[in-house]
Structure 1
C-alpha cells in the first residue's frame, strides 16, 4: 500500500501506511438495549458558492445517502442539529428543506429520525421571550409535520434575552405544552457554542442540574429525554440519576461515551452523538456486542475510537464538524471535501492528517486505499511533498 508523508502535530512530516482493521459496513439491525442516534453532517454542493455568509446549497443525493448509511449501521439519525452546521453555515430555509427530505426518507424505511428545533430563522431579532417562543414554535411545527422526533435545541436567542432561570422555565414550559409528542431537550455546553454560556440561567452548569431535573419532572409526560453535551461525565451521571422514570439521558459527551453508554448499577445513558457519524460501523457493532452481553467486546471496539473522538472534538470544539466531514470524504460518502459557509478551512492540515492516523487505529476507514488516495490529493494541492 502507498506510503504518505503526513504533516505531524509536532511539525514536519512523518511516513504513514494504514495498518488498522478495515471497517465492516454490512447492514445491522437497530440496537435493542440502547437508543442510539448519530448526529449527521450535511454535504455541500461543490459547484455552488457556499462561501461564508452565503445561503447553503447542498448536494442532496449525497446528504440523504449518508443518512441511509447511518441507518444501515443500526443507528438512528439526529438531523438538523449542530453537526449539520446549525448557526455555522446552514440557514433556516436549507434546514427546513433538510428536515422535510430526511423525514420522507425515514418514513420510507421506518427508520428513527430526530430533528433539531431552534430559533435561527431569518426575521426580526429575538428581543423578547415571546418572540423566542414563536420562533421555536414555527420550527417545532416543521419537525412535527415531517414525522420526526423534535429536539428542542439550546437557543442563542434565549440565552441573550433571558434575565433569570425563571425565563428559561417559562419558555420551555410553553413549548412542552404545545408539543404534539414527547420531545428531547438539548443542553449544549459552552465548549460547543460560547454563545450558550450560562444557559438555564446559571453560570456554573453544576448549579443547573437540579433545576433542569425539576423542569423535566414537572413536564415528564412531554419529555422523552434530554441530550447533555457538557463534556463532564460526573455532571451527566448526576442529572441522569435525578430524571423521572422513563425519561432518557442521551449522552452528547464525545469524550466519555463508552463508559456512559455502558452505565453502572444505577442505570445508563443512551446516545445522541456527533462522533457516531464518524465511527458508525464501529459504534453499531459495539452496541450489538452490548446487546449480546459481551461488554468486553463492546469496550474493545468503543475504547479504540476515543482517541479519534477526542481529536475531532479538541478545542476549539465547535469546529468538530470539519473533521466529521473530512472523514466522510475519506470514506467515500461525498465527492469532495467542501462545507457550507466555507467551514472546511476551519482545521489545519496537521489536524486533518491526524484524523487519518487515528481513524485507521480505530478501524473507522471503510477503504484504506481510497482514504490514502484522497489524502494524497489533498497533500498535493496543499504543496506537501509526498
Structure 2
C-alpha cells in the first residue's frame, strides 16, 4: 500500500507502508502502575465557534476510555492531554470527571485519577495565595465529592503570585493536609506550559528539587506519587532516588519512558503518560513482555514508539495534543479530526505526515487500510 506524502523541500515523496499492527495482550497484568492521560473527542457539528465554545462528544470520549481500560490502563482524567487550559475549561472538565468516574464503576477493574487544579481562576485574577488555595479547594472538593482520586495539577495562578519556595510550600501544605485520600502530584515543565516557568519558586532544578522533596516528606502519608514531566531522564532519576519509602515515581517523560519504566535494576518509574493514549496497544504488549521477564521483547516493542513520541511532543511541546487526536482519528476511534479550540491547526502537514510514517513503523496503525484512506484524504485537503 502506497501513498504520496509531502517532502521537506516542498515536493512529494512516495511512501510504502511497512508496519504490521501489534496485537495487545488482553488481560495482561502489568508489572508497573500504568496511567494513560486521555484526550477528549470534540463534537464538530455542535461547535459553531470552536475557538471559544467547545462542545464534547461524550459518547465517543467515554468509548475511548473503555478502549484504554480494556487494554489494562488506568486513566489520568482531565489532565493537560484533555486540553485543560488550552480550550477545555473547568466546566467541561467537571462533566468529564463526573462521567468518567461513573463509567469506571461500570467496568470491572477500571481505575482512574482526575486532575484538580486552579484553571477556573485566571492568573490575572489571582491576587493572593489564599485565592490560589481557594481555587484548589474547590476543584479538590468536586473530585473527592464524586468519589475520585485527585491529581494535584501545577497551577498557572500559583506560578504568577508566588514569591518563592515558601509560598509553594504553604499552598501544598494546606491542600495536602486537607485531602481525604492519597494524592498524585504533578511537576509539569515549562516546555509543556510556558506559564509554569520557575515553578516551585526557582529556575534552578536542584533548588526546585529540594522544595518538592521537602513537601513530599512532610506529607508522605498523603502522597501516592509524583509525575514529573521535564523530558529529562537524569532529572527524573534524581527525584526518584530521593523519594521517601512508599511514594512512587510516575514518569511523564514522553521522550525517555521505556528506560525509565524498565528501571536500572534497583529503582524504576511507574507511568502517567500522554503518549500512552496513542501507543496503548504496543505499550500493553510491551508491559506484558516485561511482566514475563522478557526485557529484550519489551525493548523491541517500545523502541519504535520513541521516535513517534518525540515527533508528537516536539517543540512547541504544548501542541502535542494535536498529534494525539490525529492518531485517534487515523485509528478509527473518532470519525473526524477536529479538536476543541481548533487545536488541530497547531501543527502542519509535514508534522502529520511524519506521524503517519512513524506510527506505521511502530505497528500503531490498527487498520492500515483505514489509516491510509484517511491520510490520503487529509493530504488532498492540504494540497498534496
SS at match of 1:221: coil
The 3-state SS of whatever aligns with 2:224 is strand
Query: Secondary structure, in 3 states, of the residue corresponding to 1:148?
Result: coil
TM-fit CA distance, 1:238: 0.6
Is 1:344 equivalent to 2:344 in the alignment?
yes
Distance, in Å, in 2 between the alignment partners of 1:193 and 1:51 is 24
Please give the secondary structure, in 2, of the residue aligned with 1:279. Answer: helix
Find the residue that maps to 1:337 and give its secondary structure: coil
Partner of 1:8: 7
List alignment gaps of at least 5 residues for structure 1.
Answer: none
* 2-structure distance, mates of 1:238, 1:194: 23
Aligned pair count reads 382
Deviation at 1:316, TM superposition (A): 0.3
Deviation at 1:364, TM superposition (A): 0.8
Structure-to-structure mapping, 1:125-274, within 5 angstroms: 125-274=125-274
1:81 is aligned to 79
Distance 1:9 1:282 in 2: 29
Q: The residue matched to 1:249 in structure 2 has which SS?
A: strand
**Would you say the 8 A contact 2:169–2:211 is kept in 1?**
no
SS of 1:207's partner is helix
- The residue matched to 1:246 in structure 2 has which SS? coil
Judge which range, 219-228 or 371-380, deviates more. 371-380
The TM-score, its normalising length taken from structure 2, stands at 0.97
Q: Which moved more, 1:39-48 or 1:199-208?
A: 199-208
Retained in 1: the 8 A contact 2:312–2:323? yes
Contact 2:289/2:298 (8 A) holds in 1:
yes
SS at match of 2:221: helix
In structure 1, distance between residues paired with 2:8 and 2:324: 19
Which 10-residue stretch deviates more, 44-53 or 64-73?
Answer: 44-53
- The question of 1:65 aligning with 2:52 is answered no
Q: Deviations over 1:196-251 (max 9, x none)?
A: 00000011223211221121011100000000000111110010010011101100
- SS state at 1:220 partner: coil
Equivalent residue for 2:310? 310
Aligned partners of 2:51 and 2:340 also within 8 Å? no
Distance in 2 separating the partners of 1:232 and 1:305? 17
1:266 is displaced (CA, Å) by: 2.6
